[in-house]
Amino acid sequence: MSSHISTKAAIAGITIEPCIFNAAGPLCVTKEELEAIGSSHSGAIMTKSCTFEPRPGNPEPRYYEDALGSINSMGLPNLGYMKYAEFSSEMKKYRKPYIVSVAGLSLQDNIEIVKYLGQFKDIDAIELNLSCPNVIGKPQVAYDFDASDEMLREVLKVNKHVLGVKLSPYFDFAHFQQMAGVLKKHKLAFVSCVNSLGEGLFIDADAEQVAIKPKGGFGGIGGDYIKPTALANVRKFYELLDRKVPIVGVGGIKSGRDAFEFILAGATAVQIGTEFMRSGTACFARVDAELKALMKEKGYSTLDDFRGKLKVL
């Protein structure tokens, strides 16, 4: 083994070094927040999931955390897709990939947004968020396999960038297989697993009330609570997509050991959400240092030495 330990990863020719970066959601709405990520040890700059129109989001309090994780019902507060396209040229100075998360509220919105983003050469990739509601009364797109198929087919027709998808968590082998069947029909650069686990509920027993205001207290769960679910999704899609499509692991990563587990399960790179919200940009350097220390201890010099090599009993 060489003395140099690398946590460099590559997705569709895009270098992400380290393989650790921010998940779309926390602290990535404004230009200032994106610049803070750019200045940090994060391997890439991921934007907030953007919509067609700017959105203030849901009424506050809309985020709450305890020792084991978080609940949120943010309501996609963002500056609108044109702003994130506009920021792309200024983000180049950080010399790391700039990825725009897209969460149009309809198929047509997503087509228009992705088409528009195609004009901006300084955008390195798009993460299409399939885990947002599309039509009132309908499930998230990722839970509607026909809608997911149509979304990918139509969006990829106009796409000019490296494009991947962010999926909702799945809990059943049949659903893993159905979604993998959809994904295999389309040329995707990566798959991110998982978005927050909904709909959860945090209750304050002392106050006898819910922790957040929107939707009667219901929201997406993140942090330690969802790590086993996220690991299962990463592993299953890694296997079902024939170990050919890069998987980005997200859900409950707060240490180098967590990141190691995700890569062992098959992840090419990992994103940090709740822990980034909790401890700020310092988390990227810390998790990378911890990952490198664990790799050194185990005699690994690159991520390829152990990626996907999870043993079963």
Tokens of 192: 């991110």
Given the residues 50, 132, 193, 283, select the one marked as catalytic: 132
Q: What is the DSSP letter of 227?
A: H
- Other Cβ atoms less than 10 A from the Cβ of 305: the count is 15
283 is annotated as an active-site residue: no
How far is residue 235's CA from residue 262's CA, in Å, rounded to a whole number? 8
Closest CA to 214 of 200, 204, 232: 200
How far is residue 60's CA from residue 169's CA, in Å, rounded to a whole number? 25
How far is residue 88's CA from residue 86's CA, in Å, rounded to a whole number? 6
What would the DSSP string read from start to end of 57-126? Answer: -SPSP-EEEETTEEEE-----B--HHHHHHTHHHHGGG-S-EEEEE--SSHHHHHHHHHHHTT-TT--EE
Catalytic annotation, residues: 132
